[in-house]
A and B are shown apart, each in its own frame.
Chain A
Amino acid sequence: MISETLEITPGQLKSRTGWDIKPQGACKGEICIPLFSSVTTATGLVDLSKLAEKLNMPLIRDDVAGLWCLGPEANGKALTTTIAPDFELPDWQGQTFHFSSLRGKKVLLVAWASW
């Protein structure tokens, strides 16, 4: 997740990473990770450096561009649950496609590329 600032709103965090800050911890899908100490600032923003440390995510910065990037959780495996992550991507005609709209069907998800 790219950010110009080190502090973002919980809403931005949820929409861009799936992580939701709740009283019981940081939650994504059925997984909740207790945080023990706060990752939010006095004004209610999420401090990405504290969150990255708690969730075992890399946080890098490009000083010239003035950008941060929060990477995925480093939990040993690309999948930590078999529940398929919900995601949205544009289709080739520009409409937003919600992956969850396929619930009820078997899905073969194929990654390809033009290169």
Chain B
Amino acid sequence: MWQALREELYPQGLEIVTVALDTLGLKAALPFIEAAKPTHPALIDEAHLLDELFGVVNVPSGVWIDEQGIIVRPVEPAYVPRGQFRSRQIPEGASAYVVEMIGEVNKMIEGYKVSQDTEKYFPALRDWATNGANSRYVLSPEEVIERSRPRGMEEALGAAHFELGQHLYRQGKTDLAVVHFRQAHRLQPNNWTYRRQAWSMADPLQGPTDLYEGDWVSDIRKVGAENYYLPLDMD
């Protein structure tokens, strides 16, 4: 889905790099990458390194980095081009959980913010591709740091537990891993990548299990579907 945009903007000196945050690595991400046939770098991040390096807490997220390697916009929602976000139909024979899940996804899509923000993100990206440092969407260094995610000791400790959980999970020590994933969820309650990654390994639908306190539908309902993504401040 990023490929078409890459074709458009690459001649203007903009490259797109996609990074799959997947503890299960290539085998999880490959079907999507093969379908997209990317000509841009498509990377695999088993360790969720981007969470730690840039403060990613949800997907899709984007960071803008200029020709000199300077971050000019920190992590923010990077919506796929319009048309990708369509209301979903409920498949025949879907379980009760899937019905609820699709209901929440549709609330998210139909909600004001996602549709409005999708309209804002791509014109801004095109503006930057064309105008570079003179684009009005390029932020000052102070603003970039200020807008990056908070990282106090709780968040840093959550990152350490998540890293250890992933390491143990990949070693097949699932019981030990779950203890650390739960700590990570408690310490970074707003981090959806930590939660959804762990839930998805216990249940592909991210439904309720005995392992974790939350699940996708319950947690989305707690914050409200319209607040699932951070607000996109492109004004």
A60-B67 in contact (CB<8A): no
Known contacts A71-B157, A97-B43, A78 near B75 by CB under 8 Å? yes
Choose among B160, B179, B206 the residue with the greatest number of A CB atoms under 10 Å from its CB.
B160
The complex places the Cα of A100 from the Cα of B70 at a distance, in Å, of 11
The complex places the Cα of A109 from the Cα of B62 at a distance, in Å, of 5
The complex places the Cα of A72 from the Cα of B74 at a distance, in Å, of 18
* Residues of B with C-beta under 8 A to A65: 164, 168, 171, 173, 176
A62-B13 in contact (CB<8A): no
Asked if A76 CB lies within 8 Å of chain B CBs, one says: yes
The complex places the Cα of A79 from the Cα of B144 at a distance, in Å, of 8
B18-A112 in contact (CB<8A): yes
Give which listed residue, A62, A84, A89, A106, contacts B129 with CB less than 8 A: A106
Asked if B207 CB lies within 8 Å of chain A CBs, one says: no
Which residues of A68-98 are within 8 A (CB) of B? 69-87, 89-92, 97
Give which listed residue, B14, B20, B141, B193, contacts A106 with CB less than 8 A: B14
When each residue 24-38 of chain A gets 1 if its CB lies under 8 Å from chain B and 0 otherwise, what string results?
000000000000000
Which residues of B160-194 are within 8 A (CB) of A? 160-161, 163-164, 167-168, 171, 173, 176, 179-180, 193
Give which listed residue, B12, B30, B153, contacts A74 with CB less than 8 A: B153
B149-A78 in contact (CB<8A): yes
State the interface size on chain A (CB cutoff 8 A): 51
Q: For residue A78, which residue of chain B has the nearest CB?
A: B55
A111-B21 in contact (CB<8A): yes
A58-B70 in contact (CB<8A): no
Question: Shortest distance in angstroms between A18's beta carbon and chain B's nearest beta carbon?
Answer: 9
When each residue 46-76 of chain B gets 1 if its CB lies under 8 Å from chain A and 0 otherwise, what string results?
0001101111100111111111111110110
Question: Shortest distance in angstroms between A91's beta carbon and chain B's nearest beta carbon?
Answer: 5
A105-B52 in contact (CB<8A): no
Known contacts A58-B160, A84-B71, A115-B200, A74 near B19 by CB under 8 Å? no
Asked if B99 CB lies within 8 Å of chain A CBs, one says: no
Question: Shortest distance in angstroms between B153's beta carbon and chain A's nearest beta carbon?
Answer: 4
B156-A114 in contact (CB<8A): no
* Residues of B with C-beta under 8 A to A67: 164, 167-168
Asked if A5 CB lies within 8 Å of chain B CBs, one says: no
Asked if A42 CB lies within 8 Å of chain B CBs, one says: no
Give which listed residue, B16, B74, B152, contacts A110 with CB less than 8 A: B16
A108-B20 in contact (CB<8A): no
Asked if B220 CB lies within 8 Å of chain A CBs, one says: no
Q: For residue B32, which residue of chain A has the nearest CB?
A: A114
The complex places the Cα of A110 from the Cα of B43 at a distance, in Å, of 10
B164-A77 in contact (CB<8A): no
The complex places the Cα of A107 from the Cα of B52 at a distance, in Å, of 19
10 A-B pairs in the complex with CB atoms less than 8 angstroms apart? A74-B152, A76-B150, A79-B54, A83-B69, A89-B44, A92-B43, A99-B17, A105-B13, A107-B16, A111-B50
Other A-B pairs, 12, CB within 8 Å; known A64-B176, A79-B144 = A1-B163, A67-B164, A72-B159, A74-B157, A86-B69, A103-B69, A109-B64, A110-B18, A110-B19, A111-B54, A112-B18, A113-B21
